[in-house]
């Protein structure tokens, strides 16, 4: 099977070590589904790159579906695209539009990285896919592993806030405390006009943080 993906921050390795058997199973399934490793996206070293902050410093989790299937676009963080991507995909365009409407700031390639440095975990429900195929790894077991990630996050930080866009993300609502989630339709072109636009999620997160006397995000 080869080497498993590794966490870039030691506290994650420690927290998730008890779940390594499941990770071994998931990664074996990934390799069975996509035997040519160069077609797995994001690449092995980026699978857990969203976990760049200590686990007890996670304040907010945005849950996406799975990585962009276009080669070289996925970074390991949900919704984010690589700096080499010159045109934002439609869903990210809608997120950028709502971000600007909500905060008054311009969205750039650095924006999501700046959130991560403040404790925002951009997590996909399924952490890999195959180049050219959306949801190619939907059935390999990532969903179960993601729930364990969220369980460990909540154990380390009970007041973590979940931002859940769309029905698939909202299936993870039980992973967060009561009153600790913001929900809206998905920002994809098919759903954004049903309530994502004007939902003001960034202001909403800071409202929840303020109620809990926690540090506000500088969006």
Q: What is the pLDDT along the chain (219 residues), one digit of tens a residue?
A: 568 999 999 999 999 999 999 999 999 999 999 999 999 999 999 999 999 999 999 999 999 999 999 999 999 999 999 999 999 999 999 999 999 999 999 999 999 999 999 999 999 999 999 999 999 999 999 999 999 999 999 999 999 999 999 999 999 999 999 999 999 999 999 999 999 999 999 999 999 999 999 999 999
Question: In the CATH scheme, what is the homologous superfamily, with its name and number, of domain 10-211?
Answer: Uracil-DNA glycosylase-like domain (3.40.470.10)
Q: Are 114 and 99 in contact (CB under 8 A)?
A: no
* Nearest in space to 219 (alpha carbons), one of 77, 30, 60: 60
SS percent in the chain: helix, strand, coil, step 5: 40, 10, 45
**Domain residues of the chain, as ranges?**
10-211
Q: Which residues are tagged catalytic? A: 66
The overall pTM is greater than 0.85? yes
61: helix, strand or coil: strand
Strands 161-165 and 181-184: parallel
């Amino acid at each position: 099977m080869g080497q498993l993906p590794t966490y870039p921050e030691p506290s994650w390795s420690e927290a998730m070590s008890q779940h390594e058997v499941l990770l071994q199973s998931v990664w074996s399934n990934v390799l069975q589904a996509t035997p040519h490793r160069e077609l797995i996206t994001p690449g092995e070293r980026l699978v857990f790159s969203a976990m760049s902050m200590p686990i007890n410093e996670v304040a907010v989790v945005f849950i996406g579906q799975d990585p962009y299937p276009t080669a070289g676009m996925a970074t390991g963080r949900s919704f984010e695209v690589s700096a080499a991507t010159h045109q934002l995909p439609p869903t990210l365009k809608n997120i950028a539009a709502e971000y600007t409407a909500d905060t008054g700031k311009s969205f750039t390639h650095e924006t999501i990285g700046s959130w991560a440095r403040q404790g925002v975990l951009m997590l996909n429900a399924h952490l890999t896919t195959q180049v050219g195929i959306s949801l190619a790894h939907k059935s390999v077991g990532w969903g179960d592993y993601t729930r364990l990630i969220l369980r460990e996050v909540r154990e380390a930080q009970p007041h973590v806030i979940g931002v859940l866009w769309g029905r698939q993300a909202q299936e993870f609502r039980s992973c967060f405390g009561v009153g600790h989630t913001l929900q809206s339709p998905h920002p994809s072109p098919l759903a954004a006009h049903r309530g994502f636009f004007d939902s003001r999620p960034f202001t909403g997160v800071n409202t929840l943080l303020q109620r809990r006397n926690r540090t506000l995000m500088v969006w």
